[in-house]
Amino acid sequence: MTAGAAGPRVAPYDVARVRGEFPILAQRVHGQPLVYLDNAATTQKPRAVLDALRTYYETANANVHRGVHTLSERATAGFEGARQTVARFLHAAEPREIIFTRNATEGVNLVAQTFGRQRVGAGDEVLVTAMEHHSNIVPWQMLCESAGARLRVVPIDDEGALRMDELRRLIGPRTKIVAVSQLSNALGTINPVAEIIAIAHEAGAAVLVDGAQAAYHMPVDVQALDCDFYVCTGHKLYGPTGIGVLYGKAAHLEAMPPYQGGGDMIASVTFEKTTYNVIPAKFEAGTPNIAGAIGLAAGLDYMTAIGMDRIQAHEQELLEYGTAALAAVPGLRLIGTAPRKASILSFVIDGIHPHDIGTIVDREGVAIRTGHHCAQPVMERFGVPATARASLALYNTREDIDRLVASLHTVHEVFG
């Protein structure tokens, strides 16, 4: 299996120094140095993010936009500066195309309940893939049920790669929206989203890309992709929980109705009529997660300073090393072996439940995720109830992989 597409060689960074910038990685779990391999669920936070949060609360804590006093102006500058940082990170055309949400899930729901309700009617179709996270399935099911539309699913092959022949067959004149993950959280598959977007647009369909997994592993350019919407989440981008991002083309956002009503999304209110604010404020009702946005910006700046190409190359080398190392574990089978993949090592071991695997390796100080990973259709496709999943980040090392493999041998010893 080729773990991923090889790109031009880039200079490595000092991983030991980077690890020293993540305070949580210095702790011991059950007496063992922590090996954190649950990054697909959430990443750990560098000191730069922790300092940004502390500085905000100590020096600038106030509500944004409506205040004329100094603290409010500082908070507003930090919050809107964070929007500019996100726009640069995703290569959006302008900051007003960036909407702050609670997470990627809320971004998908926002699009489904606004743009989707405008675009999808009885007899229409929404297309998703068989590898989607539940967050990129359920909102579209809800939309289809209310609109009388049909949800169609692009299958995946035995390696976990998308069946592009089936995608081309399924997209047609009734297809109004295509929702696809850029990188599968359960399989690690990297989907050819630029090609998918071009095919969908030729058929007149709009495309939402779920970048919750991809955005912290590889460079993202929403203009080059030409996607209509892109969602990602702060807690995977080395930032805080409770903050997410929805990118949308300005023309779409301007035409979409508000998602929620309340403060800051209005221009004027009377009992007879409310007029709505311009984007992005139209979609940010109420007091936003100001600290979260500022912390997210610090996380993006941290990754940018290292270099997304260097992060991608480091993680790709680890994936290849980990793929080979896990192959030597008796009875282990990888779930997800697509030719283009990144960051995810999902596996099962014959005769041992993934939850038991996770419990035993935790006693060795190794943190992995076990379960269906909010991707139950993927589990069904591969005929397993759950998998164990080790997922990589910029601070992981070969030694982390070696510790995982050693802990899996302990699993075998326990189960004989």
Catalytic status, residue 374: yes
Q: Which residues pair with 36 in a beta bridge?
A: 367
State how far the Cα of 267 lies from the Cα of 263, in Å rounded to an integer.
Answer: 9
Packed helices 47-59 and 290-306: angle between N→C axes, nearest 10 degrees: 150
SS3 87: helix
Task: Yes or no: say if 214 and 208 are a contact pair by the CB < 8 Å rule.
Answer: no
Task: Yes or no: say if 215 and 240 are a contact pair by the CB < 8 Å rule.
Answer: no
Active-site pick, 144, 227, 232, 374 = 374
Q: Which amino acid is at 68?
A: V
Backbone angles phi, psi at 264, to 5 degrees: 75, -20
Neighbours of 41 (CB within 10 A): 16
State how far the Cα of 136 lies from the Cα of 181, in Å rounded to an integer.
Answer: 8
Burial class (CB in 10 A: 0-12, 13-18, 19+), 60: buried
Closest CA to 44 of 67, 26, 71: 26
Strand 366-367 and strand 35-36: the pairing is parallel
Active site residues: 374
